[in-house]
Amino acid sequence: MTDRQTRIAVVTGAGSGIGRAVAVELLRGGWSVALAGRRVEALSETAALVPGGTALARRADVSRPDEVTALFGAVHDRFGRLDLLFNNAGTFGPGGVPVEELSYDAWRHVVDTNLNGAFLCAQAAYRQMKDQYPQGGRIINNGSVSAHAPRPHSVAYTATKHALTGLTKSLSLDGRPYRIAVGQIDIGNAATEMTARMSEGVLQANGEVAAEPVMDVADVARTVRHMAELPLEANVQFATVLATTMPYVGRG
């Protein structure tokens, strides 16, 4: 068992981008963090960014139920409890593909990763948080501003992010009796490998291609940490963090 003063987190997709930034922020804040992802080398690189931090790097494909079970079993064996799941792993899928040309395999891959993976991890976390003592914990799902307004040619990604909002609401309701708080952060244009193309120009709703502003991913990480460190009696149900002048409110 871990010292109760040490908080325990699982961060999926922790090998790069937003997941890496959040994991680093939590480690610097004294959390013990299980880093989950498909590339162990990248997870080890994340852990090395905070010398002296307590990190467990664990390979896991969140779309595979057996690997999710193994991940949370390893967390339980190592730390004895779970205080936070940051449900972050996701994929945009093939970019720029019109809906009529999107293959079923491509659709299924996005759904399996973004939605089914989020459900499997939330379910595993929920079970552990319900059964542990003291009971409870927090789940934060990484949504997207696409949970509100789509980009052109993003049907699979947008559909899963809308579904993730429903998952968040349902988990939040069902978690009430067990002190499980569930919220969602919707992020727009954080500077990561995935958004590098923003500065080169991306397709807009009016058919034009235009560069878009981005924000420091560290600002996202600090927001997640704020949500994570609230007492369980308080919850940020939904938060939207985005580059101030990105085309979102006026998108379309």
Residues labelled catalytic: 157
**Contact at 8 Å (CB) between 19 and 37?**
yes
Six-digit token string for 177: 């009796």
User: CA of 86: how far to CAs of 8, 11, 120, 200, in Å?
Assistant: 11, 5, 13, 30
As a dihedral over the C-alpha atoms of residue 77, residue 78, residue 83, residue 86, rounded to 10 degrees, the angle is -100
**Contact at 8 Å (CB) between 121 and 47?**
no
**What CA–CA distance (Å, rounded) separates 158 from 160?**
5
Coil, strand or helix: which one is 30?
coil
Where are the extended beta strands (E) located within the chain?
8-12, 32-37, 55-59, 84-87, 137-142, 180-188, 202-203, 209-210, 238-242
- Indicate the angle between helix axes 117-131 and 65-79, nearest 10 degrees: 30
How many other C-beta atoms lie within 10 A of the C-beta of residue 199? 12
